[in-house]
């Protein structure tokens, strides 16, 4: 609670005058709903997989957001509002995400947290624009998933930024000069990362010696791809994929791909939970904005609260969900919206506030541009002895 109060006060003190952004309608918001105790309630709606093969991502996203909601409400709320989180299960399916969005709107959603995945968010972003609903996705990283909606923002890096940053990190730290890439050719996240990574490698003089792909229907047997990577002489395998497929690859490649570095992005978060033997993923590196073992006071406060609530260490998806809620709190303060003056200008004011705030989150210090993209720093992590730790060379 101490951390929450300090953070909210700091965000309020850092607020600047609000400018106006064109293109977002008023949304026709009704006066604030009230909880049973008489306080006003702001409904935040999220969408993501809570069941199915990718449930760990949506569950982490929801749980991180819920920790922030609970902290904010325990500290007295924001401007007379308590927050309520309504997180709908999509199983990672864009069509299910559309249905979930409709249900959230029926429930009176004030702010959308978009989808956990890019495809989910892209499937609802046009409807959100038409409904004049602020979208702040925590983890949907495809550029396309917020394009065309000037009321849409994201907490995480976009795919091009991650792809280019990965290539630069590999070059700057002399991790390899010959690189193989393994990615899903039917997944927006994977394709976006690969495209910019490959382009940046060419600029940097890194040689991509082999590219192997798979699809959602061919993601169980990677023997052909492993043999091709082995024959290529690659020193590093870039994995712009999710943890489920990465665990399959690493398990099947054990004893076959020796002395290579595996390097991925935020999609590899949760990799340790996908393997029976941590030794299979020893030395895997990933570029991510969140380090659970950071000594930062806010990070450790979040990690402690998350472990107490859910019995596990939070990953980057949880951290982004947590930061999304505090970002909404900061925008609400910046906009000067209270439970007494909330009206049909709510969305317009919240969107304008998004480009004026600075949030000291657990995933870094964040600001936003009018294009909805965040600016913050990434860091490399490595799995050592069954734990994901900061890579220090």
Give pLDDT, residue 47: 99
Selected from 3.40.50.720, 3.40.50.2300, 1.10.1740.110, 3.40.1010.10, the CATH number assigned to the domain covering 160-288 reads 3.40.50.2300
Domain boundaries, the chain: 2-157+294-377, 160-288
Q: In what order do the strands lie in the sheet with 359-361?
A: 359-361, 364-368, 374-375
The region that residue 21 occupies, defined by phi over 0 for left and psi between -120 and 50 for alpha, beta otherwise, is beta
Sites in the chain below the pLDDT cut of 50 = 1-23, 25-29
Selected from 3.40.50.2300, 3.40.50.620, 3.40.50.450, 1.10.8.100, the CATH number assigned to the domain covering 2-157+294-377 reads 3.40.50.2300
How many CA within 13 A on the CB side of residue 202? Answer: 5
Give pLDDT, residue 378: 84
How far is the CA of 113 from the CAs of 72, 138, 222, 267, 281, in angstroms?
17, 7, 35, 19, 32
Equal fold, 2-157+294-377 vs 160-288: yes
Quick: pLDDT tens for 265-313.
Answer: 988 988 998 999 999 999 999 998 898 888 889 999 999 999 999 999 9
Q: Is the pTM of this model over 0.85?
A: no
Quick: pLDDT tens for 218-259.
Answer: 999 999 999 999 999 999 999 999 999 999 999 999 999 999
């Amino acid at each position: 609670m101490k951390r929450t109060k300090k953070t909210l006060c700091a965000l309020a003190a850092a607020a600047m005058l609000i400018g106006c952004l064109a293109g977002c309608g008023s949304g026709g918001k009704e006066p604030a709903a009230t909880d049973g105790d008489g306080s006003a309630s702001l409904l935040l709606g999220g969408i993501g997989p809570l069941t199915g093969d990718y449930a760990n991502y949506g569950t982490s996203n929801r749980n991180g957001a819920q920790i922030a909601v609970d902290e904010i409400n325990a500290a007295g709320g924001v401007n007379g509002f308590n927050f309520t989180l309504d997180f709908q299960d999509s199983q990672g399916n864009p069509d299910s995400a559309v249905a979930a969005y409709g249900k959230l709107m029926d429930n009176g959603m004030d702010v959308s947290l978009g989808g956990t995945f890019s495809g989910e968010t892209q499937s609802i972003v046009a409807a959100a624009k038409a409904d004049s609903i602020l979208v702040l996705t925590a983890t949907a990283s495809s550029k396309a998933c917020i394009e065309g909606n000037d009321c849409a923002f994201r907490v995480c890096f976009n795919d091009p930024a991650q792809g280019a940053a990965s290539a630069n990190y590999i070059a700057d730290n002399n991790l390899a000069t010959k690189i193989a890439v393994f990615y899903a050719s039917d997944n927006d996240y994977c394709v976006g990362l690969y495209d910019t990574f490959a382009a940046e490698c060419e600029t940097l003089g890194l040689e991509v010696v082999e590219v192997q792909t798979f699809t959602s229907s061919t993601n169980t047997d990677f023997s052909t791809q492993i043999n091709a990577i082995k024959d290529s002489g690659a020193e590093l395998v870039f994995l712009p994929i999710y943890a489920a497929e990465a665990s399959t690859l690493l398990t099947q490649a054990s004893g076959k791909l020796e002395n290579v570095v595996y390097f991925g992005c935020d999609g590899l978060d949760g990799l340790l939970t996908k393997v029976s033997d941590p030794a299979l993923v020893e030395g895997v590196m990933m570029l991510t904005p969140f380090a659970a073992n950071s000594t930062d006071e806010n990070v450790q406060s979040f990690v402690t609260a998350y472990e107490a609530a859910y019995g596990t260490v939070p990953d980057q998806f949880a951290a982004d969900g947590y930061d999304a809620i505090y970002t909404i709190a900061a925008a609400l303060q910046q906009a000067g919206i209270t439970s007494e003056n909330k009206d049909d200008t709510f969305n317009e004011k919240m969107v304008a506030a998004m480009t004026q705030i600075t949030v000291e989150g657990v995933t870094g210090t964040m600001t936003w541009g009018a294009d909805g993209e965040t600016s913050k720093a990434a860091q490399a992590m490595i799995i050592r002895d069954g734990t994901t730790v900061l890579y220090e060379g």
